[in-house]
Amino acid sequence: MSINEIINGQTGGDGFPGLVRLVEKYLDGMNVDITTRCEMGKYLGLVSQRASGTSLPSSQTSRLRVLALRSDMMLRETLDHSQMDTAFRSKSPRV
């Protein structure tokens, strides 16, 4: 069984229902207040998405953000250099 199957359950009627569904059924039977149930639902949804691979872990999201910022900074440096070069050429006397 994969992590996705353990967390979200197996496809098909006779397979393992998954830990998320089991926890949801447990919470339904415990008579939990609506606020707690909603918070738990958000958390269980996140765990389910992470297990299925539809939501990236925070470490990978941070890495992607850093890579995007690096490329953005490199682009800014290139643009700044280009703008400075253009400004310098327009101010310098032509020979």
Q: Percent of the chain, pLDDT > 70? A: 74
pTM of the model: 0.59
Round to the nearest angstrom and report the end-to-end CA distance of the chain: 76
Which tens digits make up the pLDDT trace of 25-66?
999 899 889 999 999 999 999 999 989 988 877 788 777 777
Look at residue 79 in the predicted model and tell me its pLDDT.
60
pLDDT band at 81 (very low <50, low <70, confident <90, very high): low
> How many CB atoms are located within 10 Å of the residue 55 CB?
15
CA–CA gap between residue 2 and residue 50 (Å, rounded): 13
User: For residue 13, what is the DSSP state?
Assistant: T
Residue 56 has, within 13 A of its CA and on its CB side, a CA count of: 8
More confident residue, 67 or 87: 67
Unique residue bearing structure tokens 């299925």: 52
Of 34, 10, 39, the closest CA to residue 22 belongs to: 10
